Amino acid sequence: MSQPVTLPLWLLVLILAFAGVTFASHFLFPSVRWFFRRRMERVVARLNARLERPIQPFKLMRRHDMIMRLIHDPDVMEAVVEEASNTGVPEQVVLERARRYAREIVPAFSASIYFGIATRAARFIARMFYHVRVGNFDASEYKSLDREATVIFVMNHRSNMDYVLVTHLVADRSALSYAVGEWARVWPLSRLIRAMGAYFIRRKDSSPLYRRVLAQYVRMATDQGVTQAIFPEGRLSLTGALAPAKLGLLAYIIGGQRRGGRDVIFVPVAISYDRVLEDRILTEAAEAGARRFRARISSIVAFGLRNLWRRLRGRFKRFGYAAVSFGTPQSLESFMATGPRDPANGLADLLMGRIARVMTVLPVPLVAAALGADRRISRSALLARAAALAATLKAQGASVHLPRSSAQLAAESGLDALCLHGLLAESDGAITLADENAALIAYYAASVTEVQNAVAADFPAFSDQIETDKT
Mean pLDDT rounded to a whole number for the chain: 84
The upper half-sphere exposure of residue 158, i.e. CA atoms within 13 Å in the direction of its Cβ, equals 28
Q: What is the pLDDT of residues 359-398, one digit of tens each?
A: 999 999 999 999 998 999 999 999 999 999 999 999 888 9
- Residue 469: which pLDDT band, with cuts at 50, 70 and 90? very low
Q: Which residue has the higher pLDDT, 45 or 143?
A: 143
- Residue 189: which pLDDT band, with cuts at 50, 70 and 90? low
The total number of residues shown for the chain amounts to 471
Q: According to the model, what pLDDT value does residue 467 have?
A: 37
pLDDT of 321 over the 70 cut = yes
Most confident range, picked from 27-36, 178-187, 315-324: 315-324
Q: Which residue has the higher pLDDT, 406 or 61?
A: 406
- Residue 12: which pLDDT band, with cuts at 50, 70 and 90? low
- Residue 471: which pLDDT band, with cuts at 50, 70 and 90? very low
pTM of the prediction?
A: 0.84
Answer whether 126's CB lies under 8 Å from 132's CB.
Answer: yes
The Cα–Cα gap between 39 and 46 comes to 11
For residues 410-434, give the mean pLDDT. 93
In the chain, CATH 3.40.1130.10 covers: 110-277+319-358
110-277+319-358 folds as: Glycerol-3-phosphate (1)-acyltransferase (3.40.1130)
Answer whether 159's CB lies under 8 Å from 236's CB.
Answer: yes
pLDDT of 466 over the 50 cut = no
Q: According to the model, what pLDDT value does residue 44 have?
A: 65
* Burial environment of residue 77 by CB neighbours within 10 A (0 to 12, 13 to 18, 19 or more): middle
Question: Beta strand 150-155 with 430-432: parallel, antiparallel or unpaired?
Answer: unpaired
Within 10 Å of residue 326's Cβ, how many Cβ atoms? 24
Burial 374-388 (b: 16+ CB within 10 A, else e): eeebebeebbebbbe
For residues 112-126, give the mean pLDDT. 87
- Residue 31: which pLDDT band, with cuts at 50, 70 and 90? low
**What is the architecture, at CATH level 2, of domain 363-459?**
Orthogonal Bundle (1.10)
pLDDT of 28 over the 60 cut = no
For residues 74-85, give the mean pLDDT. 93
- Residue 143: which pLDDT band, with cuts at 50, 70 and 90? confident
Q: According to the model, what pLDDT value does residue 48 have?
A: 66
The Cα–Cα gap between 175 and 44 comes to 11
- Residue 298: which pLDDT band, with cuts at 50, 70 and 90? low
In the chain, CATH 1.10.10 covers: 363-459
- Residue 292: which pLDDT band, with cuts at 50, 70 and 90? low
